[in-house]
Structure 1
Amino acid sequence: MIEHHRRRLSASAALLLLCCCCWASTAAGAELADKLRDDTELSQSTAKTFRRIMPVRFYSLLEQNPVANSTLSLRSCTIFVPTNEAFQRHRGSTHVLYHIITVALSKDQLPKTVSSDMDGNPPLYITKNRNGDVYVNNARIIPSLTVELTNREGKRQVMHIIDEVLEPLTTLPTAKPDAITNPDAYQFLQQADLLNIGDNRVRTYRSQVALMKKETIYSAPGTHTFLLPVDEGFKLSTRSSLVDAKVIDGHVIPNTVIFTAASQHDEPKTSAAFEDLLKVTVSFFKQKDGKMYVKSNTIIGDAKHPQGVVLAEIVKANIPVRNGVVHLIHRPLMIIDTTVTQFLQKNFGCNSFKFLNDNENGALRKFYEVIMDNGGAVLDDINNLAEVTILAPSNDAWNASSINNIVRDRKKMSEILNMHIIKERLNVEKIRQKNANMIAQVPTVNNRTFLYFNVRGEGSDAVITVEGGGVNATVVQADVAQTNGFVHIIDRVLGVPHTTVLGKLESDPMMSDTYKMGHFSNFNDQLNNTQRRYTFFVPRDKGWQKTELDYPSAHKKLFMRDFAYHSKAILERHLVIADRVFTIKDLAQMSLVSDTVLLPTFRDSLKIKVEEEAGHLHDEYASHEWTGYVIIWNYKKINVYRPDVECTNGIIHVIDYPLLEEKDIVVSGGSYLTESSICIMLANLIMITVAKFLN
């Protein structure tokens, strides 16, 4: 039989088959090694691969277990065999019979739940995800290493190689042998002190479940996911009293078993607290440091359950029970009982909060460190605000090399930190409302600085970006709710430029028309030059749309490739090239000294004046008073919509209208030319005439 399979299988598969046949007999580990070493048909590299995939430790465990030996010799079965790397990562005992089921099933034949051969027959849960991967509990089946054969009794057997050791729920050594076998989630909750779950305790949450008479949700048959907060998450004395029946429902995902490795990250699942007047979803996600988190999102709340996201780290994951899987989390979901300041402070503090310090908000540790290194005044300012929203850069965001140059500059860092603070409660829904007709413009605590939000997509696929001080950041975790506001975690530090003028022009949705015009006219080619310093007055898209109403024919031609030369000439008027940049404050101060500020451009110069002007942000946001700036050019006032967008090689001032007038456009043979382009064309014509005369 072995020779027959060797002809049909690859060398690697033949080796696996040989191993299975050795299992069926009672060959010792040394004899098995001899067989592998002496088999001349197997290359050295294949043998190494085999030894990596099929550790001797698992062989010996099989050999030492009489039930496993009997099954392999006499019965059909499926065996899930962990790789060598899986054993190296594994801590604790390995339960061989939990890796065996007494029916032969290929990967495609595996149902959602199968019973293991371990005492009590605790279930194994099968997950098939969108990528085609198949998981047994939290272990992925490696499809290329599956082997099927028939043993000497004619029974079909299947071996799947998996990347994790399967861990059943077991009791502590001090518990009675028959204390608990194959418990459901309610029995787990009731007898957790007898179970092997480390130092974690769930007594506080258990008492609330009993008080709210919610035992049946944990004992319900079927396959569910249960999230249980551990006692350390109730250090705040009032928190346990907030765990009511709806909060308990929010910790259960019915009719779905979710193991962390098999989960689709950031895919909201309907919790048991999802009804007409209250809608709560739960999702899993993983940080770059490898830590797994779960978050509740109260989409529709009520007086007791406010809207927003609550994050909790999973402190012990993937505990299989008879009716699903349990994950222990470090704090309860849905409960919003800390201020924004307290949320940030939980990175540090007294020893009594050590557990919370390590887990509550580790993703923002560096943000808090920068605040404290800068004197902590920013935190005091946040604490004094009745309503506040924080755009908090993640830990990874602070690793950018551009930040190292300014992190010790307290004045600059204070401005940057204040740029991340908004004096109102601003969740995603409110951002979406403000973004309905235009890019939302929101003032920050930093004097005269605004943030610009943009929302693309709908629902869970929506992407929210925010721009501040020349930096475009993406919101990677929105709506982390606190009692006095929200925290949104972003992937960059605002106000610390990391791209050139060209990069900013290309990526900012408000400047797309200027970018398009500069692209087909080759004007943009110079904007990546880091040896120059640019001050670029960029008309926003809405400004170009106004010119379409004022000069429809001219606007049409300015965006046509056939008229690229003239488009370039107009853009060159907007670009100041000097040995320094000119902030809007610089220009305003220069305008106080001289009635006209003369700025060098590529061809000649730009004459402007900049003045401060008080007003309102927008009609729809009339409550936001502000002091802005206007450019006076050729007796025309043009509002500066976004001043001082910093770039690595210059600065951009986004303006409401291009530096363009009707007299700039001359009709000549159907073409529209600027005064400067006409002069250039005349000069070229004279040069051509002179050249012909000299020849």
Structure 2
Amino acid sequence: MIPHSFIVSPLRLWLCIVIALCFSSVNANLWAETERMPDLQQWRKLCGLYEVATAYMKDVYAKVTIFAPTDDVFTYNPDIRALSQREVLSHMVDTQVIEIGQGKKWEKQTLIRSTINSGYIYITQFENNPGNFSYYANAGMICNHVSNQWGIISGEQYLYKICTPIGHRPYPGTALSFIRDTDKTVFMDRQYNNNELTEMREILNRVPDIALVIFGSSAWNGFHTFFLPTDAAFAKVIDRNRIDREVMLAHVTGVNRVLFTYPWLYDGGLHYYPSIRFSSNIIEDNFKLKISMRNITDRRTGRWDLYVVSEVYERYANFRRGAVWAKILVPNIPVQNGVVHIIDNVLGIVSQTIDQIVMENPKSRVLMRYMNTIGQIVRNYLSATGGLVTFFAPYDYAFEMIPEQIERRMLRDRIWLEQVLKLHIVPAKELVSDEITNETIVNTVDNMRQLYFVKGEWPKNNITYYVIGGGIRTAIIQDNVAATNGIIHYVERVLGVPYQSLWEILKNESDCQVSFKMLENLQLRYSLDPWQVLTPEQNFTFFIPTDLAWQKVSPYLRNRMNDGHHWLALQYVYKRHIIQGQALMYTDLRERTYVMMNDEKVVIRRRGRYFELYWPRGNVVARVIEGGEIAGINGFMHKIDNILIYEPDLHADAPSDGISWLTLLCTISAPFIFRWRLVRLFLVIAFVHSQFPEFLERFLSPKYS
């Protein structure tokens, strides 16, 4: 029988449940939640220093959203540990940001929410692929997706982990007050100041409408991204009268486009944001002049620099077609009406020639030294103001990749050096990247050689442009740099100067991998990759069949060539595609007959704008693919769309296995046999015995079935 003391009435049970829920709700706060999270201990310790921050973390009824840096952020950025209470509160939003966990595309790419300290935080969404999104709070990447915790919810509170710093400490005023501020104490213990913005201050004083309405805008007018040039940037402008209201507005993005460096870089620089146009007291987006952010990585050190790029799609007013690149010196300074980035160049305005821009670029010192070696022959094209040119300027590390023996020869041979530099110049043309397609072909200054282009897209929407000249293909790293007399594209290779052997190049040619796999097992590969270069015996002109060319060969013949028993025949076929002792570039090809490496004759003839190979004995024609020229330190390769091959090649340089003993028997018995009919019979039997297995294999193959 149950004692009466153990019997609980329904009313008493209900009161116990209510009391338990009250106690559990009191304990269920973010302060208690973070205590159990090993990667948020530094954030919890920082909040514990300030009463207001701790109170919000413990108050379960406060409808807040907290963006908490993980311990790794504090480890790699120790200065964050010294944040003041006001700066800690800038990580806390006074509303619930539930949009992050919904997993759907926002109508606005950037959400603007007020923080507890009366500032603003900017939450950005980027779509990686359909249905997969990444989120950023200012410059901090929200990393809850790593642990599948899209929001740590406790009562009315939300908490999101961020795995990169959200940016510099926020400035308490607007962009205009940031420029005009003369109180040095405001910038104490900060990684930025406004000491180098005096020119910007004077210009804004001359245009009070732009200064007050845009740079000093409030939340009612909208939020922007401000790019502020330093005094040194304004010193580069030759004609100061060209700096007007339109130029100032080119440094401000459209309304409610608040863009920090880290999320913008994640965007890949693919989205171009319009700048501000200010007319009739109405703020509009200027779609003629657009802004993007790019990064350029140094291939030697792995360090990368941030740039903002203002690009004009059509000429208007004082703006030229092309892009102006400005390096971001101090990024991500949050202000009350957006974010500020300090840059080293004035956007939108172009006042220097190609020669002046290249000469001032610290990554083009070696290029200038090479151009000065041959005098003013090349620099006249780049400094003249009468005509437009497009210049493909190699970076310094492009020259460092040239082998030493090639570099010595180029410095001794001034004529060759001049030809190499002229190969990088396209006269009478402003060639911007929007005009480049896979069919684009342009003539260079010497009017003999041409440049070809490839528009690559990998991964999706990440477009890279390649230029091919003199047998060298190089990527365009910094494109569309505008000058008063043309356009500059910075590239990572020197056109016309080889730096690898033909065998090393063949390894990386994606459309010639079938030929590479075949040559890997042949002795011919050692001729293509010699120890000694720049000697006549080691020079080759190799007409390399592409993968599509091998698909035109019958499966029977292709399989027999690769069965391991006909490697001598396969090598004999490849020698039919090689001219030994001559390195012929595309412009050196002539209509004549050449003796190939296997001592056979092949005719090179022109058909319209193309060259083709004609092999008379096999009656086979292979077209030389235009733009498929590749230069190596021991010759040139030209891609062709067919193979000079036929079935009798299977017996080239390959002794027959079945004829040996019968032929030997006939040879020994011939002097002793007086009946010549018997001799002929023995020879017929030997021939049939040797050819029957191959005939049977061909008869049973799918081709003849």
- Classify the TM-score, shorter chain: 0.5 to 0.7
Equivalent residue number for residue 420 of structure 1: 424
What do the CA deviations read for 1:633-661 (whole angstroms, capped 9, x no partner)? 98x9x99978984324x31264999897x
Equivalent residue number for residue 626 of structure 1: none
Q: C-alpha distance in 2, partners of 1:576/1:124? A: 67
Cα distance change, pair 97–208 in 1 and its aligned pair in 2 (3 A): closer
Contact 1:138 1:261 in 2 (8 A): yes
Tell me the CA shift for residue 295 of structure 1: 0.4
What do the CA deviations read for 1:488-536 (whole angstroms, capped 9, x no partner)? 1222233343444356457669xx5xx4884797699666432384613
Cα distance change, pair 122–431 in 1 and its aligned pair in 2 (3 A): closer
Return the letter of the residue paired with 1:471.
I
Equivalent residue number for residue 432 of structure 1: 436
Return the letter of the residue paired with 1:125.
Y
Which of 75, 90, 93 is the equivalent residue of 1:85? 75
Tell me the CA shift for residue 239 of structure 1: 4.4
Q: C-alpha distance in 2, partners of 1:237/1:519? A: 53
Cα distance change, pair 281–381 in 1 and its aligned pair in 2 (3 A): closer
Superposed, 1:186-585 pairs within 5 Å as 186-189=176-179, 191=181, 196=187, 197-201=193-197, 203-204=199-200, 207=203, 210-211=206-207, 213-215=209-211, 216-218=213-215, 219=217, 221-236=221-236, 238-254=238-254, 255-263=256-264, 264-272=267-275, 279-288=288-297, 289-302=303-316, 304-346=318-360, 361-368=361-368, 371=371, 378-379=378-379, 382-383=382-383, 386-400=387-401, 402=403, 406=407, 409-411=410-412, 415-428=419-432, 432=436, 436=439, 440-444=441-445, 448-456=448-456, 461-502=462-503, 504=505, 515=512, 518=515, 528-529=525-526, 530-531=529-530, 533=538, 535-538=540-543, 559-564=553-558, 571-577=574-580, 581-584=581-584
Kindly, what percent of the aligned residue pairs are identical? 21
Contact 1:471 1:498 in 2 (8 A): no
Secondary structure at the counterpart of residue 241 of structure 2: helix
Superposed, 1:127-206 pairs within 5 Å as 127-131=124-128, 132-143=133-144, 148=152, 156=157, 158=159, 160-164=161-165, 167-170=168-171, 181-183=172-174, 185-189=175-179, 191=181, 196=187, 197-201=193-197, 203-204=199-200
What do the CA deviations read for 1:451-471 (whole angstroms, capped 9, x no partner)? 332334699754321223332
Contact 1:277 1:300 in 2 (8 A): no
Contact 2:507 2:516 in 1 (8 A): no
Return the letter of the residue paired with 2:116.
D
Contact 2:167 2:333 in 1 (8 A): no
Tell me the CA shift for residue 67 of structure 1: 3.0
Which of 90, 98, 120 is the equivalent residue of 1:98? 90
Secondary structure at the counterpart of residue 356 of structure 2: helix
Cα distance change, pair 285–242 in 1 and its aligned pair in 2 (3 A): same
Contact 2:388 2:486 in 1 (8 A): yes
What do the CA deviations read for 1:294-346 (whole angstroms, capped 9, x no partner)? 10121122363221111011122212233322222222222121111000111
Return the letter of the residue paired with 1:313.
K
Moved more, 249-258 or 306-315: 249-258
Tell me the CA shift for residue 91 of structure 1: 10
Moved more, 320-329 or 259-268: 320-329
Return the letter of the residue paired with 1:423.
P
Structure possessing the higher radius of gyration over alpha carbons: 2
Tell me the CA shift for residue 269 of structure 1: 1.9
Cα distance change, pair 238–161 in 1 and its aligned pair in 2 (3 A): closer
What do the CA deviations read for 1:279-305 (whole angstroms, capped 9, x no partner)? 222111122233211101211223632
Return the letter of the residue paired with 2:228.
L
Which of 40, 46, 53 is the equivalent residue of 1:68? 53
Tell me the CA shift for residue 370 of structure 1: 5.3
Unaligned runs of 5+ in 2: 1-19, 103-109, 188-192, 278-283, 298-302, 532-537, 562-568, 668-685, 687-705
Secondary structure at the counterpart of residue 252 of structure 1: coil
Moved more, 222-231 or 198-207: 198-207
Secondary structure at the counterpart of residue 304 of structure 2: coil
Return the letter of the residue paired with 1:422.
V
What do the CA deviations read for 1:21-56 (whole angstroms, capped 9, x no partner)? xxxxxxxxxxxxxxxxxxxxxxxxx6xx666x5485
Tell me the CA shift for residue 18 of structure 1: 5.6
Q: C-alpha distance in 2, partners of 1:526/1:444? A: 41
Return the letter of the residue paired with 2:294.
F
Given the alignment of the two structures, is residue 605 of structure 1 paired with residue 590 of structure 2, yes or no?
no
Instruction: Give the aligned length.
Output: 571
Tell me the CA shift for residue 365 of structure 1: 4.7
Moved more, 489-498 or 456-465: 456-465
Contact 1:521 1:568 in 2 (8 A): no
Q: C-alpha distance in 2, partners of 1:286/1:557? A: 41
Cα distance change, pair 253–302 in 1 and its aligned pair in 2 (3 A): same
Contact 2:122 2:138 in 1 (8 A): yes
Cα distance change, pair 440–159 in 1 and its aligned pair in 2 (3 A): closer
Q: C-alpha distance in 2, partners of 1:658/1:693? A: 43
Contact 1:226 1:327 in 2 (8 A): yes
Tell me the CA shift for residue 444 of structure 1: 4.6
Q: C-alpha distance in 1, partners of 2:239/2:394? A: 28
TM-score (norm 2): 0.65
Tell me the CA shift for residue 252 of structure 1: 2.5
Q: C-alpha distance in 1, partners of 2:641/2:270? A: 43
Cα distance change, pair 575–204 in 1 and its aligned pair in 2 (3 A): same
Return the letter of the residue paired with 1:400.
M
CA-atom RMSD in angstroms = 5.2
Cα distance change, pair 540–390 in 1 and its aligned pair in 2 (3 A): farther
Contact 1:520 1:561 in 2 (8 A): no
Equivalent residue number for residue 690 of structure 1: 663
Contact 2:318 2:349 in 1 (8 A): no
Equivalent residue number for residue 113 of structure 1: 112
Tell me the CA shift for residue 440 of structure 1: 1.7
Contact 1:297 1:310 in 2 (8 A): yes
Q: C-alpha distance in 2, partners of 1:108/1:609? A: 67
